[in-house]
């Protein structure tokens, strides 16, 4: 980690300020070369955690931008290395110019997530905490943010470390027992092992029980609006979004491509998709659109099946009903502001146990019921306390599952009176699996892979 790295840490675009961040042993040198006070003076000795007002100059001494620069000396910084942050104006040109100057002075462009990777490699945070930081940055709902903060603050890591230490303790005891192979000691030790392992097994199960909801909160669910042309699918999307996102006309076949937007329903991230009305296509473009509708319908976690309440159910409705027979769904009877003639008896077999909501998308009637139903169906009893620790990351979930498999194998072996030294192989396996969550037992490849998914400048 000899190199000094540099990156633009704020999003690329136009903003009030933008930040170039430099980390590594050359950071202060680079600051000395590029920064001048307003009066044009160089500063030799920078103070820790001190904001300097001045300008960044190029090799000819010309002003590139007026900036504020802050110094954070090792080890009390994000990466535990010397960090310099240059807060300049948030335009693409000054940011790029300053970045270029820092590179000319010996810094290297950082890879995605490299600052956080250094924080991890330098021992300031563990892997689960690093992932928590990234999840917080990417969180699209408050609930997702709350869950990630717990990871960032190390609450998950603490639990994992405790369990891992317990296992290491067991291993040490087993080793001692093996050295003094008296029958009764082994028996006592086996009993103690069973107790501890059963406890850890339950603890892991408790964490795993939160994973479904956790993943849902992190990734959201895919809700797809389907139905015949002209029933009001796009109008429903617009009503849910409270904006005129999709084109609405009275011409059947208006929507031709998928429109995807995000909704936050009580902290649940919902990816909602409006699709082309399904019928026998009138031209090649519509045909492609309908194929996309069907593909997305298949991938949906939940289908909103919209029908026009002012019309009778026909063959096209029945075909759609058939194709979503197996899907989790909500039936929407739209246009109830007009004379309702639809008779649901004709689709009785398809909607048994399925909620039916009457809406008027153009008047906004019934829309909150749709939201409430989506929320209830998604949660289906999975509500839990706001501050409960949740597993939101598939990597963590898989590691916990692996750990529990080893623990169950160890327990089975113990109950079958298998020799303790053989049991210890499984306990070690569980230990390693837990260690991958916090990063105590991970390969370099895995570390690289995890951080490469982070964003640039973090």
Distance CA 412, CA 276 (A): 54
Query: 270 and 375 in contact (C-beta within 8 Å)?
Result: no
Single out the residue of 318, 260, 256 nearest to residue 290, CA to CA.
256
Q: Which C-beta is closer to ligand GTP: that of 186 or that of 337?
A: 337
Query: 20 and 100 in contact (C-beta within 8 Å)?
Result: no
Q: Is 275 in the site for Mg ion (CB under 5 A)?
A: no
Q: What DSSP string runs through 53-91? A: EEEEE-TTS-EEEEEEEEEE-TTSSSSSS-EEEEEEEE-
Two tokens, residue 49: 């955690």
Q: How many residues bind ligand GTP (CB under 6 A)?
A: 24
x-or-dash string of contact with Mg ion, 248-267, rule CB under 5 A? ------xx------------
Q: Which C-beta is closer to ligand GTP: that of 276 or that of 430?
A: 276
Strand partners, 35: 56
Q: Is 250 in the site for ligand GTP (CB under 6 A)?
A: yes
Q: Give the three-state DSSP class for 386.
A: coil
Q: Which C-beta is closer to Mg ion: that of 68 or that of 258?
A: 258
Strand partners, 454: none
Q: Helices (H), strands (E): how many in the chain?
A: 15, 13
What number of other Cβ atoms are within 10 A of residue 4's Cβ?
Answer: 25
x-or-dash string of contact with ligand GTP, 302-341, rule CB under 6 A? --------------------------------xx-xx---
Q: Which C-beta is closer to ligand GTP: that of 150 or that of 254?
A: 254
Q: Which C-beta is closer to Mg ion: that of 156 or that of 225?
A: 225
Q: Is 230 in the site for ligand GTP (CB under 6 A)?
A: yes
Residue 157 contact among Mg ion, ligand GTP, none, beta carbon within 5 to 8 Å by kind: none
Q: Is 229 in the site for ligand GTP (CB under 6 A)?
A: yes
**What is the C-alpha end-to-end distance of the chain, expressed in Å?**
16
Q: Tell me the residue nearest to ligand GTP as measured from the CB.
A: 277
Q: Is 296 in the site for ligand GTP (CB under 6 A)?
A: no
Q: Is 436 in the site for Mg ion (CB under 5 A)?
A: no
Q: How many residues bind Mg ion (CB under 5 A)?
A: 4
Q: Is 54 in the site for ligand GTP (CB under 6 A)?
A: no
Two tokens, residue 410: 């160890």
Give the binding site for ligand GTP (CB under 6 A). 227, 229-235, 248-250, 252-255, 276-277, 334-335, 337-338, 360-362
Give the binding site for Mg ion (CB under 5 A). 233-234, 254-255
């Amino acid at each position: 980690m000899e190199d000094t790295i540099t990156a633009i840490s704020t999003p690329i675009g136009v903003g009030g300020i933008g930040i170039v961040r430099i980390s590594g042993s050359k950071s202060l040198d680079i600051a000395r070369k590029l920064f001048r006070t307003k009066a044009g003076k160089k500063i030799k000795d920078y103070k820790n955690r001190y904001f300097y007002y001045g300008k960044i100059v190029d090799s000819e001494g010309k002003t590139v931008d007026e900036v504020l620069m802050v110094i954070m000396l090792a080890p009390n910084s994000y990466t535990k290395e010397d960090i310099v942050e240059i807060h300049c104006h948030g335009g693409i040109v000054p940011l790029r110019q300053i970045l270029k100057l820092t590179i000319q002075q010996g810094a290297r462009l950082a890879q995605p997530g490299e600052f956080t990777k250094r924080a991890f490699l330098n021992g300031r945070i563990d892997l689960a905490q690093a992932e928590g930081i990234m999840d917080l940055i990417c969180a699209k709902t408050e609930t997702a943010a709350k869950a990630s903060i717990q990871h960032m603050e190390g609450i998950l890591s603490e639990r994992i470390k405790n369990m891992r230490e317990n296992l290491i303790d067991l291993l040490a005891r087993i080793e001692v027992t093996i050295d003094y192979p008296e029958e009764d000691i082994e028996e006592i030790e086996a009993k103690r092992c069973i107790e501890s392992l059963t406890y850890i097994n339950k603890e892991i199960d408790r964490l795993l029980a939160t994973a479904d909801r956790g993943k849902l909160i992190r990734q959201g669910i895919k809700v797809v609006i389907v139905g015949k042309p002209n029933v009001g699918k796009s109008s429903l999307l617009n009503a849910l979004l409270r904006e005129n996102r999709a084109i609405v006309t009275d011409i059947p076949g208006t929507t031709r491509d998928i429109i995807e937007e995000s909704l936050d329903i009580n902290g649940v991230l919902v990816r909602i998709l409006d699709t082309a009305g399904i019928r026998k296509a009138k031209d090649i473009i519509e045909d492609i659109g309908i194929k996309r509708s069907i593909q997305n319908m298949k991938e949906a976690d939940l289908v909103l099946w919209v029908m026009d309440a002012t019309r009778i159910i026909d063959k096209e409705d029945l075909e759609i009903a058939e194709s979503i027979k197996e899907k989790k769904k909500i039936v929407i009877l739209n246009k109830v502001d007009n004379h309702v003639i639809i008779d649901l008896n004709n689709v009785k077999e398809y909607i048994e146990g399925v909620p039916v909501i009457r809406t008027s998308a153009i008047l906004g009637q019934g829309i909150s019921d749709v939201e409430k139903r989506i929320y209830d169906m998604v949660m289906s009893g999975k509500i839990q306390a706001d501050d409960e620790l949740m597993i939101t990351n598939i990597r963590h979930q898989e590691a916990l599952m692996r750990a529990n498999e080893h623990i169950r194998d160890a327990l089975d072996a113990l109950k079958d009176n298998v020799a303790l030294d053989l049991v210890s192989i499984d306990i070690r396996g569980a230990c390693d699996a837990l260690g991958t969550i916090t990063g105590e037992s991970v390969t370099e490849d895995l570390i690289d892979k995890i951080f490469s998914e982070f964003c640039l400048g973090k």
